[in-house]
Amino acid sequence: MRDVSIIGIGQTKVDEHWDRSLRHLAGEAVLAAMADAGVETADALYVGNMLSGLLTGQEHLGALVADFVGLRGIEAIKVEAASGSGAAALRQGYAAVAGGLSDLVVVVGVEKMSDASSSETTAGLVMAADADYESVHGLTFVGINALLMRRYMHEYGVPHEAFAGFTVNAHRNAVNTPYAMFRQPVTADQFKRAKMVADPINLLDSSAIGDGAAAVVLAPTAVAREYGNGRGVRSLASSIATDAMAVHDRPDPLWLSAVEASAFKAYQQAGVGPRDIDLFELHDAFSIMSALSLEASGFAERGKGTWLAQAGEIALEGKIPVCTMGGLKARGHPVGATGVYQVVEVVEQLRGAAGENQLPNARLGMAQNIGGSGASVITHILEAYD
Amino acid sequence: MRDVSIIGIGQTKVDEHWDRSLRHLAGEAVLAAMADAGVETADALYVGNMLSGLLTGQEHLGALVADFVGLRGIEAIKVEAASGSGAAALRQGYAAVAGGLSDLVVVVGVEKMSDASSSETTAGLVMAADADYESVHGLTFVGINALLMRRYMHEYGVPHEAFAGFTVNAHRNAVNTPYAMFRQPVTADQFKRAKMVADPINLLDSSAIGDGAAAVVLAPTAVAREYGNGRGVRSLASSIATDAMAVHDRPDPLWLSAVEASAFKAYQQAGVGPRDIDLFELHDAFSIMSALSLEASGFAERGKGTWLAQAGEIALEGKIPVCTMGGLKARGHPVGATGVYQVVEVVEQLRGAAGENQLPNARLGMAQNIGGSGASVITHILEAYD
């Protein structure tokens, strides 16, 4: 297989984009990424999206976006893996370049959620769970996560306040991120007093849905120098793993086995371990997912994910910085776009283009995108090269 | 890239399966294909589906189906390209094996439509068209095809009766197909007297939506002999092309340029031409699409697609047999599953396992799956080998 580099990145601000349609968001991100790469064409386009059918009455996004961005005619499909759709689309683009099927690929994650009512959005998000055995009983997606968080607090004796560190870190990092949805800092006290959503998950445990799109351009590393600008960034690993769809079917609901499998497949492909990773863009859809992801990815012991946050180790100056540009919590979580935002942010850090939030000497970055409450997990490890 | 073979096939009857959920249909097809191949595991699963979100409140089918069929943990995603979703998923599975990312891949197309009301289904199908510029005006999916058919009849001076041959052929072939939805023959007179749906498209111009799933197992040809049974079938070509999303954006609405691009890319990959193809499973969602597909794929001159049907050349004993097991019209059209059914049928013919409808000496078969009214087109060419 061929070595693959990311030669261009682009993104929109995550926001309530009332004045723009899904195609405009995807188009802005794709054209920005192509301009960044210095290319005017591509062989194939992979679109990550979860909810356009239900929320905007539009499927068939591969052809739609290809047409809109001036790539009419090229190979184009949509890829869906719930909230993991963005990185799942990237995985397909990676496979096309690595496998020799395409030489120049665009991947875009896009979601347009503001146009729908909150009840439609709630119905949409729970499509990530098991319709026949979970949502049929009235369980919402935040409800599933609340059950996990309650169980975690009970099982490990961790108080709710222990999760504050994730939110404080994400908001602190978003202050300097121009495309983030919420650029104001949040204190542990504000976290404690936030309104309840689904006990014990409160508003500040929860990421913010929104509208947005992020895109990357991929090419074989052997020719990457002909394109793009800035430091080279190549993909050392790309992996997907799955788990039981319904949480009640998992032997241990507090262990995200697909996170473990996906992360360790990625470590193996890259020939590295958790200690080598300089930053970790994890899937903080809810604060409980941050703790569970750190544990199953090998960064924290079981039941001790919140310790890293409390000790400041997830901050920009910590041992394993997470959500360096704000994460899902504060950059925002346009569901099917999130996985590509995470990778764009890793590329920014590895290029040395992360502005005020730049990590010194970042060489290896990991991005992990989760579909549903852990049923699909996609991990990419990227490396900077000169 | 590696040569890829289809080592197993499976499918359910296309029907109104009131007693079974989407996962049961997909499961039956996947397990049948794996049993046919003689395998008990797989590296990756690609699910083609268009409408499960809107019609059944379930997305995230990659993890769902992997879990249900006993493949919990493996790489799994859903692929969507409207009514081309099935073949688009196959294209991803092909890429994974050809590119060396996976050694044993399952692809399943599945759609469950009976549970929804006809208005929900109508709203679902038109998501294949442009929501902002076509369906927003109240245009339905059959309405778009009706505009194309009216234009065709006007432009080329072809009467409606000329399309009867497609329907008569499809129904004749479905009589012997155990998994077909409509196994009764239809006469040209019945075609003429059928109820109008969207002038000039009548009920017998239209394929039947339904519930169903079809699956294939893929492996490198180099090891295909270790698995499976029957004659070997390998993929000589796999291609996707796209076109303008909205019909009004196409310079010539009667020329399906993505059909042409996809078919001729496939011919080039396979090193063959239309004359070498022994059977063509085309996308007869409406009879007008059969004519347009034959023309743009190089089997008929422009405006003369119906001549082939009238001359009997699309019959089992004709020059270019189409819809050999009943096609979308009579086997049925479970939207996101159709592309995989088409390939399963080509494999049946190439293996010599097509029963009463077996073509003598079929060596090269082509399957072409269309998303929307031609915005995404996926073509596969398969070859039998001993």
Give the model's pLDDT for residue B227: 87
**Tens digits of per-residue pLDDT, B43-63?**
999 999 999 999 999 999 999
Q: What sign does the dihedral A12-A14-A19-A21 (CA atoms) show? A: positive
Q: Averaged over A33-48, what is the pLDDT?
A: 97
Cβ atoms of B46 and B89 within 8 Å: the answer is yes
Q: Do A82 and B98 touch (CB under 8 A)?
A: no
User: What are the Cα distances from residue A255, in Å, to A223, A260, A267, B19, B137?
Assistant: 41, 8, 19, 34, 49
- Chain B, residues 21-60, CB within 8 A of chain A, namely 21, 23, 44, 50-51, 53-54, 56-60
As a whole-number percent, the residues of chain A with pLDDT over 90 amount to 98
Give the model's pLDDT for residue A42: 98
Q: Averaged over B253-265, what is the pLDDT?
A: 98
Q: Do B60 and A98 touch (CB under 8 A)?
A: no
**Tens digits of per-residue pLDDT, A164-199?**
999 999 999 999 999 999 999 999 999 999 999 999
| Number of CB pairs, chain A paired with chain B, less than 8 A apart | 213
Cβ atoms of B235 and B381 within 8 Å: the answer is yes
Give the model's pLDDT for residue A288: 98
Whole-angstrom Cα distance, residue B163 to residue B158? Answer: 9
Cβ atoms of B292 and B254 within 8 Å: the answer is yes
Question: How would you label A48-72 residue by residue, b for 16+ Cβ within 10 Å and e otherwise?
Answer: bbbbbbbbbbbbbbbbbbbbbbebb
Q: Averaged over B292-321, what is the pLDDT?
A: 98
Q: Averaged over B22-39, what is the pLDDT?
A: 97
Phi and psi, residue A8, nearest 5°: -160, 145
Give the model's pLDDT for residue A229: 66
Residue A305 has pLDDT above 90, yes or no: yes
Give the model's pLDDT for residue A382: 98
Residue B318 has pLDDT above 70, yes or no: yes
List chain B residues with CB under 8 Å of A75: 239-242
Reported as a pLDDT band with limits 50, 70 and 90, residue B225 is: confident
Residue B95 has pLDDT above 80, yes or no: yes
Residue B230 has pLDDT above 70, yes or no: no
Residue A231 has pLDDT above 90, yes or no: no
Report pTM: 0.98
**Is B128 an interface residue toward A (CB < 8 Å)?**
yes
Give the model's pLDDT for residue A375: 98
As a whole-number percent, the residues of chain B with pLDDT over 90 amount to 98
Rg (CA), chain A: 19
Give the model's pLDDT for residue B360: 96
**Tens digits of per-residue pLDDT, A255-286?**
999 999 999 999 999 999 999 999 999 999 99
Residue B96 gets the label, from left (phi > 0), alpha (psi -120 to 50) or beta, of: alpha
**Is B87 an interface residue toward A (CB < 8 Å)?**
no
Q: Do A64 and B257 touch (CB under 8 A)?
A: no
List chain B residues with CB under 8 Å of A78: 79-81
**Is A194 an interface residue toward B (CB < 8 Å)?**
no
The tokens describing B301, both together, are 């001159």
**Is A259 an interface residue toward B (CB < 8 Å)?**
no
Residue B82 has pLDDT above 70, yes or no: yes
Reported as a pLDDT band with limits 50, 70 and 90, residue B214 is: very high
Q: Averaged over B2-29, what is the pLDDT?
A: 97
Give the model's pLDDT for residue A230: 66
Q: Do B59 and A50 touch (CB under 8 A)?
A: yes
- A263, containing H or E segment: helix A257-270
Nearest Cα residue to A71 out of A80, A79, A62, A81: A62
Q: Averaged over B226-250, what is the pLDDT?
A: 92
Reported as a pLDDT band with limits 50, 70 and 90, residue A289 is: very high
**Tens digits of per-residue pLDDT, B183-201?**
999 999 999 999 999 999 9
**Tens digits of per-residue pLDDT, B102-149?**
999 999 999 999 999 999 999 999 999 999 999 999 999 999 999 999
* Mean of pLDDT over chain A: 97
Give the model's pLDDT for residue A228: 67
Reported as a pLDDT band with limits 50, 70 and 90, residue B242 is: very high
Give the model's pLDDT for residue B231: 79
Nearest residue on chain A to B372, alpha-carbon basis: A60
Q: Do A99 and B1 touch (CB under 8 A)?
A: yes
The tokens describing B328, both together, are 């979308």
Give the model's pLDDT for residue A183: 98
Give the model's pLDDT for residue B39: 96
**Is B3 an interface residue toward A (CB < 8 Å)?**
no
How many residues does the structure list for chain A?
A: 386
